Amino acid sequence: MKKLNNLVFALLLIVCAGHYSVQAQSTPPNLPYYDSRVLHFGFILGYNQATANISFKNPMPHSDIILGATTERQSGFSIGVVSDLMIFKYLRLRLTPVISFCDRKINFVTGNNGDISTLTNNIETIWLEAPLEFKIQSKRWHNFRPYLIAGGKYAYDLASLKRKKTDAQDVLIKLDNQEFFYTLGFGFDFYLQYFKFGIELKTSFAANDILVRSYNTIYTDALDKFKSQVFYINFTFE
């Protein structure tokens, strides 16, 4: 987490430095008619961190065995394309289908006759994502423009074990392969000589519980909800 905070801080410093440098320039702006185009395309390279919000049943079954559980952030990456449609001057609609590779990790703390141990379930995830987002732009400042993002997305997990036979000793819980998210974030566009470069920070929060309750283990029984949460740092080239 500390490394992530340092990365975000460094990105903000770059953005601030870029803003002040472009303000100081007296040269004509790059790509002066870029935003007058109704539709344009590009691609995305991104870094992500996946975790989950979990809750327990009350009272929790098997409380003599399962003492608690925690989730850990796991890093991954994303690649995809950008299609951007202008609605009016400061509002655009973006469809950005991506494929994201990441893991979700949950640790169960268990006790047996006074002995405490931790069992880990590492859930490999390959999401096909279809985000549909509104991009709310500020006024352009020379070659720099900040913006806000709000929207939602559908994600399908190609690596889901939902329908695969597994051993309860190896796979403690199973997750559904379909999720719906809402997304909030912000970003910064830099107009370069030949293309527009963007830095985007956003978080997606799952709207639906994806715990597969038909997978009958004591770990599944102990949980009430499992909802994914993913943080993204995306670099866009348009």
Each residue of 60-91: pLDDT tens digit?
Answer: 888 888 888 999 999 999 999 999 999 998 99
- CA 8/CA 233 separation, integer angstroms: 9
Range with the lowest mean pLDDT among 26-30, 103-107, 226-230? 26-30
Amino acid of residue 7: L
- The CATH number for 113's domain is 2.40.160.20
Q: Is 13 contained in some domain? A: no
Residue type, 84: D
Residue 30 lies in a domain: no
The verdict on residue 23 lying in a domain is no
pLDDT in tens, 197-206: 999 999 999 9
pLDDT of residue 26: 61
Q: Tell whether 133 is covered by a domain.
A: yes
Domain for residue 7, yes or no?
A: no
Query: Is residue 15 included in any domain, yes or no?
Result: no
Confidence of residue 113 (pLDDT cuts 50, 70, 90): confident
Read off the pLDDT of residues 3-45 as tens digits, 9 standing for 90 and up.
555 555 555 555 555 554 444 456 889 988 898 899 999 999 9
Q: Domain range spanning residue 107?
A: 38-237
